[in-house]
Chain A
Amino acid sequence: MTATPPTILVVEDQEEVNDLLQYNLVRAGYRALAAYDGRAGLAAVRQHLPDLVLLDVMLPGIDGWDICNALLEDPALRHIPVIIFTAKGSREDFDHGHRYANVAGYFIKPYATSDVIEHVGRVLADRQR
């Protein structure tokens, strides 16, 4: 691991799910931050400029797609990769995800946490190259 581990922001309203993602990220050597609704999530991105965002679509307040848009509109934030979680799992949601340039992954709940952590590593490695 490098001296300064990458920072991952988890935006997920289900508390225990969020906590477990953070736990797994930390155990995998990342620095993890948490936000439990859309607004707090957006604020956290702006404040901490994380290396990657794990984002649930169904959030109280503003939803995941709105956050994706907000990030794309900000030149300082548009490069931050986003991995999407959705519990809907419908074809429409999946297709929708491909419209956002910053979406680097898409997981349908319930996902395997190990897959998510692995994918985070892959996306970050791609960005570094």
Chain B
Amino acid sequence: MITGSLLILALPLLVFTLAASSVLWRFYLQQLEADIAAQALLMADTVAPSLAAVATGHLPDGAFSPEAIASRWRRRSDARITIADARGVVRASSVGEGVGAPIDDTRRPGMRTALSGRSNATVWRSPNFVNEDTMYVNVPAWYGGQVTGVVRVAHTLTSLRKRVAQLRQTLLVAVLLYTLAIGLCTVAFAASIVRPAERLQRDAERIAGGDLSHRVEVRGPEEITQLARTLNHMTSRLEVLEGLRRRYVSDVSHELRTPLTAIRSMAETILKYGDSDTSLRERYLPRILTQTDRLARMVTQLLDLAQIESGHYVPALTPLSLAEVLDEVALTNAARAADLGVALDVRVSDRALSVRGDRDRLVQVFMNLVDNALRYTPRGGAVTLSALSTRGHVEVTVADTGQGVPPEHLPHLFDRFYRVETARSPLAGGTGLGLAIVRQIIESHGGRIKVTSSHGKGTLFLIELPGASPSPLATRSSNPPTTESQE
């Protein structure tokens, strides 16, 4: 992958290098042509009078002979100079070739063209210089309005080619080094990300494998340490949740095994000793029934709780007459209350008072609360259900005149399996799930539940539900139930 990215990086640079050397070559070529042309022009001007003298046979004072010019320039530059007169006879050559003979067009093309007055330049692979490209400039020498001859300046392109090649080489090396450097940096950077990422992956797999106590090492570049921290935070939360889940399973197991133990012990003992001790049946068969009922109730409530807590439960909200709901609860419990010698009353000031809710679930709420209240209210006491409307809310209270809940228990009253009584309490039989279910139902209705209790005087549950009109949407509240204690 890194090789690929480097290629992508290096390719444009290579293309650029080649393009740049080609542009430079053309630029140098143009400059060379201009230089040679300037030289040729200078020489032509210098040599024109002496070439005119070839015709007249008289060399003016101070005029340079073509030979002198050719040799002078030869000493000073790499250029090869050829000078011919108006008749096309070569008068001087810096390499001393063909002097005195007419211009050989195959070897010195363009000279005759210049004799007709037209300057020309060409790049030519001349036989004079084996395998060397050469640039020629042919310039006519003007004197007194006449072409008196021609100056030809030739320059090989070898040194120019060398210079451009050198430049290209330098550029290529630079590109190579640059690509290499970038590559190394990339590899180092990738390694600094990849290695911690691989470590992170191994750790995450270990956690996913169930080792929730494992933590990722927070080390490496910023991105990785941040990821590691997030992973650790997530794992901590998972660990807490897993702890809660385990505790819950363990609690459920314990709560189910406890009545089962009693049932099994009773049944086993009756089977073994029932014939010889008839009092066993009388004593324990009703207890087996009670415990079985309690077990069945617990299973039902666990399922209820699981359903409500799963988040799939959305109460079907319909306007309900609160008085009707409370009356139904009171009626269902009337016989039991009478048996226990507890007065069970419903006090609703406004019979038209209504709430929006799931009727069956709200009945379940008040059934649980009344069941609870009856359980803890001694003979001669009272359990009262009342409702009143306040600022768009409806407040329902379930009050008893029982012994009250000790303040240390109040904060845990809505916890699953939390029971104030000890198992030996004669009133045992609660499942420890009733109030947890009550809280879940009330909160799913967008309501709140509070409990206050004063020792020896009784306990009061206060439920706040959204009123039916104007129909406010039930919002699931995550407020924990509030608990207060009045001593």
- The residue among B250, B257, B266 with the most chain A CB atoms within 10 A of its own CB is B257
Chain A residues with Cβ under 8 A from B263's Cβ?
110
Beta-carbon contact of A87 and B253 below 8 Å: yes
A36 surroundings in chain B (CB, below 8 A): 424
Q: Does A84 contact B (CB under 8 A)?
A: no
Q: Mark each residue of chain A from 26 to 49: 1 if its CB lies under 8 Å from any CB of chain B, else 0.
A: 010000000011000000000000
B269 x A20 contact (CB < 8 A): yes
The residue that A15 contacts in the complex, of B269, B273, B423, with Cβ under 8 A, is: B423
| Bound complex: CA A108 to CA B260 (Å) | 11
Chain A residue total in the interface (Cβ 8 A): 25
A109-B261 in contact (CB<8A): yes
Q: Which of A84-129 contact B (CB under 8 A)?
A: 87-90, 108-114
Q: B22 at the A/B interface (Cβ < 8 Å)?
A: no
Interface centre among B258, B261, B266, B287 (most CB of A within 10 A): B261
- Residues from chain A with a CB closer than 8 A to the CB of B287 are 16
Interface of B, secondary structure class, is: helix
Asked if A14 and B423 sit within 8 Å, CB to CB, the answer is yes
Cβ–Cβ contact A113 & B269, under 8 A? yes
Provide the residues of chain B in CB contact with A60, threshold 8 Å.
Answer: 422
Interchain CA distance A112-B287 in the complex, whole Å: 18
How far is A122 from B263 in the complex, measured between Cα atoms in Å? 26
| Bound Cα distance A112, B261 (Å) | 9
Chain B window 255-268, contacts with chain A (Cβ cutoff 8 Å), 1 for yes, 0 for no = 00110111111101
- Does B284 belong to the interface (CB within 8 Å)? yes
Inter-chain contacts of A13 with B (CB < 8 A) = 422-424
> Does B391 reach chain A (CB closer than 8 Å)?
no
B118 within 8 A of A: no
In the complex, what distance in Å separates the CA atom of A15 from the CA atom of B261? 12
Q: Please, which residues of chain B bring their CB within 8 A of the CB of A113?
A: 264-265, 268-269
| Residues in B neighbouring A24, C-beta threshold 8 A | 269, 272-273
Question: Known contacts being A14-B262, A27-B273, is A110 close to B424, with CB within 8 Å?
Answer: no
| Most B-side CB within 10 Å, residue of A16, A27, A109, A111 | A16
- Collect the chain A residues with CB atoms within 8 Å of residue B195's CB: none
- The residue that B258 contacts in the complex, of A20, A21, A90, A109, with Cβ under 8 A, is A109
Alpha-carbon separation in the docked complex, A114 to B250 (Å)? 26
Instruction: Knowing A16-B287, A87-B253, A88-B253 are in contact, say whether A110-B269 is a contact too (CB < 8 A).
Output: no
Given that A112-B268, A114-B268, A114-B272 are contacting pairs, would A14 and B261 also be in contact in the complex, using a CB cutoff of 8 Å?
A: yes
User: Which chain B positions have C-beta within 8 A of A14?
Assistant: 258, 261-262, 423-424
- B254 close to A (CB within 8 Å): yes
Minimum CB–CB distance for A67 against chain B, Å: 17
CB distance from B27 to the nearest CB of A (A): 85
Contact A15 B424 (CB under 8 A): yes
The answer to whether A20 touches B257 (Cβ under 8 A) is: no
Max chain B C-beta neighbours (<10 A), residue from A14, A58, A60, A88? A14
Q: How far is the CB of A94 from chain B (nearest CB, A)?
A: 13
Residue A70 lies at the interface, judged by CB distance under 8 Å to chain B: no
* Residues B264 and A110 in contact, CB atoms below 8 Å apart: yes
> Contacts A60-B422, A90-B250 given: A110-B257 contact, CB under 8 Å?
yes
Nearest CB in chain A: distance from B295 CB, A: 11
What A residues does B424 contact at CB under 8 A? Answer: 13-15, 36
B250 to chain A: which residues have CB within 8 Å?
A: 88, 90
Give A34 Cβ to nearest chain B Cβ, in Å.
11
**A residues within 8 A CB of B262?**
14, 16-17, 20
Instruction: Tell whether, in the assembled complex, residue A20 and residue B254 are in contact, meaning their CB atoms are under 8 Å apart.
Output: no
Q: Are B269 and A109 in contact (CB under 8 A)?
A: no
Taken together as a complex, chains A and B put the C-alpha atoms of A36 and B425 apart, in Å, by: 12
How many Å from the CB of B421 to the closest CB on chain A? Answer: 11
Given contacts A15-B423, A23-B269, contact A111 B253 (CB under 8 A): no
Chain B positions within 8 Å of A15 at CB level: 423-424
List residues of chain A with CB within 8 A of the CB of B272.
Answer: 24, 27, 114
Q: Are B257's CB and A21's CB within 8 A? A: no
CA distance A71 to B263 in the complex (A): 31
Separation in Å of the A69 CB from the closest CB of chain B?
21
Closest Cβ–Cβ distance, residue B457 to chain A (whole Å): 25
Inter-chain CA distance A113–B271, complex, in Å, is: 12
Q: Is the CB of A17 within 8 A of B254?
A: no
Cα–Cα, bound, A69→B266 (Å): 31
- A23, B266: Cα distance in complex, Å: 11
Bound CA span A21–B264, Å:
12
Residues of A whose CB lies within 8 Å of any CB of B are 13-17, 20-21, 23-24, 27, 36-37, 58, 60, 87-90, 108-114
> Which 5 pairs from chain A and chain B are nearest by CB?
A87-B257, A109-B261, A110-B261, A20-B265, A110-B264
Can you identify 7 A-B contacts, CB atoms within 8 angstroms?
Answer: A14-B423, A37-B422, A87-B254, A88-B250, A89-B253, A108-B257, A110-B260
